Amino acid sequence: MKRIVWVSLVIMMASVSVSFGAKRFENTKPKGVYLGFGVGAASSQLSQDYWGTEPDAEGAFAISMRTGFIVRPNLLIGSESAASLFRVSNRYWQYTSSVVALTFYPSSSIFLRGGLGFGSVQYERREFGPWNSSVQAGGLAAHAAIGFDISTSQTFSILPTLRGDYVNMDPESYYQIALSIDVGWYW
């Protein structure tokens, strides 16, 4: 019985998702523009070859911003910037990245996004007393995301998004997974 209920729910959600975003870019000019913002939470880890792996940072505050062009009805190209702020033990971390990203809609309401660019991690250690030490490193960043486009009008969407970021800073590496609620405007 449980299986039948779950299969029915999945089929119902799939049919609803197709009707929500079916006309997303139908009336958009081929060279339209988009703008988006997102807020959410992230979990991350910084690996250091010479110090080992830092403890995971969970519950980080994550934000993102994207802008670009609608190249085809199901393909967008643009820039994506993301940042996360969090604390682990007595260290405060800040992650930022900027990538050139492609967003592809394989169906009318599901999207896939990927890109390459530059990322950096800065962490500051609060020492005893007034002394602080900080380290900043940067390197090549890779970004991947999957999301759901819930169209509320022809030009506005709510986009629940799951994204992953990786930065190679040799010898350190950083990765995070973030879940966010984004909004997007298309014109």
As a whole number of angstroms, the distance between CA 154 and CA 145 comes to 23
Q: Note the helical H segments in the chain.
A: 2-21
CB 179 within 8 A of CB 146: no
Q: What is the pLDDT of residues 15-69, one digit of tens each?
A: 444 444 444 555 544 468 999 999 998 888 777 655 555 656 666 789 999 999 9
Residue 95 C-alpha from the chain's centroid: 12
Fold of 2-186: Porin (2.40.160)
Q: What is the pLDDT of residues 62-112, one digit of tens each?
A: 999 999 999 988 899 999 999 988 777 667 778 899 999 999 999 888 999
Handedness of CA 54, 56, 62, 65 (dihedral sign): positive
The domains of the chain are located at 2-186
CA–CA distances in Å: residue 144 to residues 61, 91, 156, 157, 168: 18, 27, 22, 20, 15
| Token digits of residue 100 | 């050139």
